[in-house]
Structure 1
């Protein structure tokens, strides 16, 4: 069975965020880092070269494939912020209605900039998503 392509690394999260070229993504990344750290009470860990994760869970598919993944997190990509793990909990469907401007795809939530969303709602999404992912999706 093949190894997961993305796993935890020893790269320093603060160094990674300080090096983000786009000034809005860099500033938003620092705000997200503070939010995720405070809400999850988990240390930030770089997963692969660009994903900042908080907590992790072990998964096992019916096919037999298994591995570890970040529970919740984000990546300050060039075009937008990719937010991971925030759309699985049942409560998030209602929260998305009042979040603001976003897109979804492949289990991710994409936000162009934090100014486009209600950060209180985003914080609530982190609050409900983190325990859901760790406690429900993990094996």
Structure 2
């Protein structure tokens, strides 16, 4: 799949369109097979028990998948999640950032399907697996 937005362009887009999350999440790498994004973990992402909250993990996966799709179709702010599934597989490390490795599995005219594996920084085993479908609005 051709890449039309690199990491720099995606981060600029996030800063413009979603300034509320741009400081916490960033795209680190984009290539035809893989997009890598990071959540800089802070106090707001933690929950009792010394772990990172499920909503924070979901948000990273959603952002990574959204950006992986935009990397291929361009800056379409109104592409939206239509289906999501998350498997929480192990406890993430509370004192480490989270890293998402995302792959687009199918990119059609109106739907895109992708998956993300979420890791604690430095870890080799995923803490979560996410699968999402996005609806792509028609070109006007």
TM-score with structure 1 length normalisation? 0.30
> If each structure's helix is expressed as a fraction of its own residues, which one has the higher value?
1
> If each structure's strand is expressed as a fraction of its own residues, which one has the higher value?
2
TM-score with structure 2 length normalisation? 0.30
